[in-house]
Each structure stands twice: as C-alpha cells, then as structure tokens.
Amino acid sequence: MFKSIRLAAASSKRPAGPLVVGVTQDSNRVPSGIDMTDEEREAVRDGLNAPGFKAENGELVWAGSQTILLGLGEADAVTADSVRQAAGRLVKFLDRAAPRSVRLAVHQAIGRRQLAAEQVGRAVAEGMQLANWRVDQFQGSASKLDPPHGTLTLSVDDKTVHAGLKRGLALADATNTARRLAATPPNFCFPQSLADEARKLARSHKSLTCRVITFEQAKKMGLGGIVNVGMASAQKPCLIMLEHKPARPVKGEKLALVGKTITYDTGGYSLKISGGMKGMKYDKCGGCTVFGAMQAIAELNLPVHVVGLLPAAENMIAGDAYRPDDIITLYNGVTVEVTNTDAEGRLVLADALAYACKEIKPTAIVDVATLTGGIVVALGHFCSGVFTNDDGLMDELDAASQESGEKIWRMPLWPEHREFMRARHCDIWNSAPSRNGHPIQGAAFLSYFVDEDVPWAHVDIAGVASVDSDRDLYVQGPTGYGVRLLTDWVAGHAGS
C-alpha cells in the first residue's frame, strides 16, 4: 500500500510515471483523445493484442515498461461502481512496481452518456483511496506487514476529471477517517477521546465548530438516555456536536445528522453471549459515519448548514448500571421502561433526536446506527435498511445512494408499529416482549423522539458497517459505510 494518495496540481506539467489507459472489452482500438507519444501508442496497441488480455473489469496488464492497460469490462456495462472496483484493483496492481506517480487516461474509453467525466474521476479516486486503506496503527515488534510505500501522486490532463478526482479523494479520505475511528478499540476509543477528535477536526476547518455536552451537564439537562446507558462506565458519556456553517448557506435549510456512538456494547445486564460481544467496538460506526460526513462536508465546503450529533456512551456493567425494569425519562419527557439493556442504541439516539428537534430545529434529520442484529438477518450485508416518515426524503436518499453506490432498501414504519411499542407502566418500552420485527421496533421507538412535521429517516447500518473478510474495496474491518451517502444527500440540498 501507499502511505497516501494525492492529486497533482491541475496545471502541473507532464509528470513522470506510468500512463494508465482504460480500455473496454468490445473495442480493439486505442481510445482516442489521449495525449501520448508514438511509442506509448504502439505499446497500448500491442497490449490490446496481448494473449489472454480480455479487458474484463479490473483486469490489468503492463504494455511495455511505461504503460498499463486497465480493463473496464463491456462498454455498455460501465457504471460508477464498476469503475470504483477497477480502480481498487489498479491500486493493488501498482503496489508491486510502487511508482511515485501515475498519469490517468481512463475517462477517454467511457462514453459521456454512460458516465460524465467528473463521475469517472470521482469513482477512480474513491476506488483507489478506499482500497489503499488498512489498519496498521497497532502493529508491534512482531509485525509482518510490509511498510507502506511513499505517496502516490495522480495526474490527469482534463480539468473536469481533475475536479472529480479531487472530490473523490475528499470523500474517500473522510470515509477512511470514519474507518480509522471505528477500528480503534475500546481501550483507546471512548466518548471523551471522540470528543477530542471532534475538537481537532473543528480546529482544522474554518466552517466547523464543536460543542460537547458533558456527563454532568447531560444529567442536569435531562438527557436520560445518554446518562443511563453510559453511567456504569469509567469512561463517562457525552453528546458531541459538530456544526458546519458555510459563509453563504442555502437559505431555509438546516440538516441534522445523528449517529449511534456506542464505543463498546457489552449488552449491559442483558449481557451479550460472548460470541455476540466480539466486534462490538463497531457499535460506534453510526457516529463515526457522521464524523466522516462532517469532515467531507467541510472539506468540500458544501453551502448547506449542517449539524452532526454523536451521542457517545459505553454500555457496561457496574453497581450503578441501569437495569432491566428501570423506568427512565428521556429529553422530551417521554418515559421508557427498559426491558432490555442491550437495546441501548435507541436510548442514546432518542435523546439526540429530541435534543435536535427542540434546540436545533432542523429542516430534516437522518440518523445512522448499528441498531439491530435483525436488519442483518433481513437484508444481509448487501445494503442498509431505511425507515422514514417522508417519501420525499426517501427519494433524496435514493438519489444519494445512486450517486455514492452505497445501497439502501426501504423498510416499513406504520402507526401500528408505533402502537406496538406502548408499555403498561409508562409510555413506551425500549424493546417489546415479542422480538418479532425488531429492526422495525427500533425505528418505531425512535419515532417518539422526532417532531411529526420534521422529515426524518433512520438508517440501520448493522449489516454494512464492517466486513468479516476482505471484500471488493474493503479489507476485513470497518467500511465507513454512509459517509458518502450522507455527504451526497447534503450535496443534493446544495444543488451541486
């Protein structure tokens, strides 16, 4: 892998390094419009006829010593997603020769109607940057990992593709930030450390400010969900907020992003079985996604006012832990019977949603959470599940999903689901006695904390936040799912 991937300035003169030429399966011709020497053209022509080279998507071959052919598959089948996959293969292929820079000539082979030049640039950068990531900050003296190569510099001679590459790198960098935080284990990553990270992020972006509601303040303010879930941990809970206020925001829009940030989920007294606890460092992935999205939104300077909220807590066991049967009052005064301390994510999210509605007054809210194992049973690792009270918001998220390639699927949320959550001794319970449809129960529970007139969507990412083994662009570990989906959703409000 490379230490980092960066973009050469648009105006820089022809840099050194191999030329990467994209070719589709059905064309035996050298794509037109590429600035290359006769020698390079000859090498590409020879490469196209190399025995065994079929230009399948992601297939790679050296054509001479200075040119690489990158297969893009059938011309009609090229999509942003297929280009991302191919670019992921490219960065792994480059690992062997480890050049310091490459010139990209990929967009020339792709029809404009198929994919706009900027989208090609974005997809190439995303694929390369996402596939070039690994968790290496915990390697010790017995490490077997190869040290990383230096920086890889990308250059391209088309201004539009260059802009796409820049956007793609920003989005993938932000996704990798989310992955880095998510991969950090609970002995290093806890509510306070995430608050420190958020303050650091805010310091490095002019448009961002950070505010943290501490445990003591949360107790006084009546944030009963965050307080109860987090109080048994030595690492006390908090509510972290990152606000992006651009110089000239779109008028009348204020978007809120809320992410479940359980830095570790033991289940509490409704203890998880040991096999079910492993991997629960990823229970903060919703918050990490919001963190990454706020980085991308600031980096791209999107002209939309956005507030990100991370209700952060560690779900632990101690003499002062909350227990099943407790009745607690959340921020908006709704009383909750805790039937299961392992249904903790909805309690911290509920406070953050109610706080957002009352104090921030957003025009729309999207929350992301590793909320239920049930969504993994229902949808597998293929997509997240979206619950929403607003068809227009669903359309916006569908558009963002198309753009980012992060797949979503709508789930039902009806009045009868809300009724199902009503308790006998207080308003609602956090988990109904029957576990049937429990991902829907989670969404129905959350709906009690969102003002009715606010478009809101809950995205259950339990199946997509991490992968068990290396797959496509991702190595085993966190995927940063949702950073690009949320950023594209916000960008949709900016009209860009």
Can you tell me which of 283, 351, 367, 488 binds Zn ion, judged by CB under 5 A?
283
**In terms of CB distance, is 142 or 273 closer to ligand BES?**
273
Instruction: Report in angstroms how near the CB of residue 481 gets to Zn ion at its nearest.
Output: 16
> For 307, what's the count of Cα atoms within 13 Å in the CB-facing half-sphere?
22
With CB under 5 to 8 Å by kind, the binding choice for 477 among Zn ion, ligand BES, none is none
Instruction: Report in angstroms how near the CB of residue 495 gets to Zn ion at its nearest.
Output: 36
With CB under 5 to 8 Å by kind, the binding choice for 340 among Zn ion, ligand BES, none is ligand BES
Can you tell me which of 168, 230, 292, 345 binds Zn ion, judged by CB under 5 A?
345
Closest CA to 262 of 241, 235, 244: 235
**In terms of CB distance, is 121 or 186 closer to ligand BES?**
186
Give the three-state DSSP class for 61: strand
Can you tell me which of 59, 342, 403, 406 binds Zn ion, judged by CB under 5 A?
342
287 binds Zn ion (CB under 5 A): no
Instruction: Report in angstroms how near the CB of residue 348 gets to ligand BES at its nearest.
Output: 10
Which of positions 241-280 make contact with Zn ion (CB under 5 A)? 262, 265
Residue 276 φ then ψ, to 5°? -80, -15
Residues interacting with ligand BES, by CB under 6 A? 265, 283, 340, 342-345, 370, 372-374, 376, 431, 438, 462
CA 268, chain centre distance (Å): 27
**In terms of CB distance, is 261 or 431 closer to ligand BES?**
431
With CB under 5 to 8 Å by kind, the binding choice for 373 among ligand BES, Zn ion, none is ligand BES
Asked about 272 being catalytic, the answer comes back as: yes
With CB under 5 to 8 Å by kind, the binding choice for 401 among ligand BES, Zn ion, none is none
Instruction: Report in angstroms how near the CB of residue 430 gets to ligand BES at its nearest.
Output: 8
Beta carbons within 8 Å of 121's beta carbon, 6+ residues apart = 107, 156, 160, 161, 162, 163, 164, 165, 166, 167, 168
Beta carbons within 8 Å of 374's beta carbon, 6+ residues apart = 435, 437, 438, 439
**In terms of CB distance, is 121 or 442 closer to ligand BES?**
442
Residue 191 φ then ψ, to 5°? -50, -45
The structure tokens listed for 271 are 């203890």
Closest CA to 354 of 466, 446, 260, 228: 446
Q: First vs last Cα of the chain: how many Å apart?
A: 33
Asked about 254 being catalytic, the answer comes back as: no
**In terms of CB distance, is 207 or 372 closer to ligand BES?**
372
Asked if 309 and 210 count as a contact pair (C-beta separation under 8 A), the reply is: no
DSSP annotation of 205 = -
Please tell me which residue in 272, 407, 410, 418 is annotated as part of the active site: 272
**In terms of CB distance, is 126 or 342 closer to ligand BES?**
342
With CB under 5 to 8 Å by kind, the binding choice for 374 among Zn ion, ligand BES, none is ligand BES
Burial class (CB in 10 A: 0-12, 13-18, 19+), 112: exposed
Instruction: Report in angstroms how near the CB of residue 288 gets to ligand BES at its nearest.
Output: 14
Nearest position to ligand BES, beta carbon? 373
In sequence order, which ranges of 278-433 are alpha helices (DSSP H)?
Answer: 285-299, 345-355, 374-379, 391-404, 415-420
**In terms of CB distance, is 128 or 178 closer to ligand BES?**
178
DSSP annotation of 31 = P
The DSSP bridge partners found for residue 69 are 21, 61
Site residues (vs Zn ion, CB under 5 A): 262, 265, 283, 342, 344-345
Catalytic residues: 272, 346
